[in-house]
Structure 1
Amino acid sequence: MANISLHDTSQATLAGAVAAFAAVGEVVATWRRRARERRELANLDHRTLRDLGISPTDVQFEADKPFWRG
């Protein structure tokens, strides 16, 4: 007769769920960071952009990207 332990299976399922939740949290954190960085970039003045060697066109292109696109 087979000895089946539901306890081990439930721990594995819980560990998988926690790992999946953590992965989703990392993705959301990345999206929030991208959105914030793009807003900050869009708010830089022309002098700062020139000092950084970034054109206003490049800034507009980056700022117009959706947060989920890298």
Structure 2
Amino acid sequence: MDHGYSSRQDRLAYLNTHASLPAMAEVALFVAVTWTKWAERRQMRKNLRDLPEFRLKDIGVTKSEADLEADKPFWKG
């Protein structure tokens, strides 16, 4: 599907230059951003759970703090 926007930056620039989007585009954008945030959060929490204690110490997080964060559902910020 080519709409004349060859790169991701071109598509994002297009969205940034237009004041408003059609309602369905707003909904689709909301869903895409939310889905992406949730997927990234889920992956980060999985990675945090898998870090060894010496790495957690490097970032100033205890094992219990890491476990507490990793146990949160992906939809909670």
User: Under TM normalisation by the shorter chain, which class is it?
Assistant: 0.7 to 0.9
What is the CA RMSD across the aligned residues, in angstroms?
A: 1.3
TM-score by length of 2: 0.70
- Count how many residue pairs are aligned between Structure 1 and Structure 2: 57
Max Rg structure = 1
Percent identity over the alignment is 32
Q: Secondary structure at the match of 1:39?
A: helix
Give the alignment partner of residue 30 of structure 1, picking from 24, 37, 45: 37
Higher fraction of helix: 1
Flag structure 1 segments of 5+ consecutive residues without an equivalent: 1-13
TM-score with structure 1 setting the length:
0.76
For structure 2, list consecutive stretches of 5 or more residues without a partner in the other structure.
Answer: 1-20
Q: Which has the higher contact order (CA 8 A, sep 6+)?
A: 1
